[in-house]
Amino acid sequence: MRRIQVVATGGTIASRGGAEGRRATVLAKELVASVGPLPTGAEVSTRDVVTRGSYAFGTADLLTLVREVRGALHDGADGVVMTHGTDTMEETAFLLDLAFDDPRPIVLTGAQRPFDDRAADGPANLGDALAVAADEAARGQGPLLVFDGFAFPARGVRKSDTMSAHAFTAPGRGPALRVVDGRVVPLSQPRPRPRFPLDLDLPDLPRVDVVPVYPGADGLFVRAALDAGAAGVVVAAVGAGNAGPELVEAVAEAVASGHPVLICSRVHSGPVAPLYAGGGTELHRAGAVFADDLSPWQARLLLAAASAVPGRSPEALVRAWLAGEDPPSGS
């Protein structure tokens, strides 16, 4: 018998319509009851942590959710399923990926249509998530996001449609598993995942801001972020990692003052690289770290987590993680 703990946090999957709009009100037991037959050999227990939209979560809330998963694993769960709003599910999945190297399945799911919709997709998604959490093929995969019949590894998963039931993709990576009528089908082998020294008992993570690049963007938002106390900045650059000269100058100032800067792309798919003179090459020369194919939103959490490790260089931790290496010792 596999023990599966469901951790409910609200979101569309738990929402009903009302005069003021959709509101999360459905609790975990009712969500599980909507699924129908549970996976054979699975014993499912439920816990409600919070019941609201994930757009209202801060990083302190995400750490609370990570601790809930830690508690479930500590209590002997063979797998954990978290129901979650889709707006920021990719961030929570990524933070869980940084936090755990436990082989037991950790699965997130949600819905695009509310619980009281006549074509609600939540019950099917939750049923698939339970099937994945109970299946041996999910062990060692790291945290997974299950949606519309596919299970995506946390790193690289992105919400790609605001309304469609096929809401998530993993550009350049693809899903790890597929669920077909309750049967879990492996699509790829688990990838090695480096450890990360994240203290799960932190009350919050340091501030890290995302600064967009667009025609005419200058250094205002980089400097404002640092003035507001940001430990570092993520630049959502254009193309393969480019920005104009005024923003590059602000990045150079930030790095020189000891504030790490990560470069991502505002493009949905593909890695960044310092290829273009006056753009990416200048950012690289200024000391910015190019964050491979991480989205700006996942890169923000990586840099925040690295900045929370006492006595260690955030830049060195980020570079090691991006290279697939365990963290370097010392500062």
List, run by run, the mean pLDDT of 10-residue segments along the chain (331 residues).
96 96 97 95 97 97 98 98 98 98 97 98 98 97 98 97 97 96 93 90 98 98 98 98 98 98 97 97 98 97 97 96 85 51
Q: What is the sign, positive or negative, of the torsion defined by CA atoms of 150, 142, 298, 237?
A: negative
Strands 15-16 and 144-147: unpaired
User: Residue 208 forms beta bridges with which residues?
Assistant: 232
What distances in angstroms separate CA 102 from CA 92, 195, 199, one per listed residue? 16, 10, 15
Catalytic residue among 12, 46, 51, 169: 12
Structure tokens at 224: 């404002």
Q: b/e per residue, 253-272, with b = 16+ CB within 10 A?
A: bbbeeebbbbbbbebeeeeb
Task: Identify whether 12 is a catalytic site residue.
Answer: yes
Q: b/e per residue, 303-316, with b = 16+ CB within 10 A?
A: bbbbbbbeebbbbb
The pLDDT, as a whole number, for residue 330 is 61
Q: Rounded CA gap, 91 and 65, in Å?
A: 12
Q: What is the sign, positive or negative, of the torsion defined by CA atoms of 48, 168, 235, 256?
A: positive
The pLDDT, as a whole number, for residue 23 is 96
The pLDDT, as a whole number, for residue 211 is 98
Q: What is the pTM of this model?
A: 0.96
The pLDDT, as a whole number, for residue 166 is 97
Residue 186's Cβ-side half-sphere holds a number of Cα atoms within 13 Å equal to 11
Q: What is the largest CA-CA distance in the chain?
A: 60
233: three-class secondary structure by DSSP: strand
Q: Rounded CA gap, 319 and 196, in Å?
A: 12
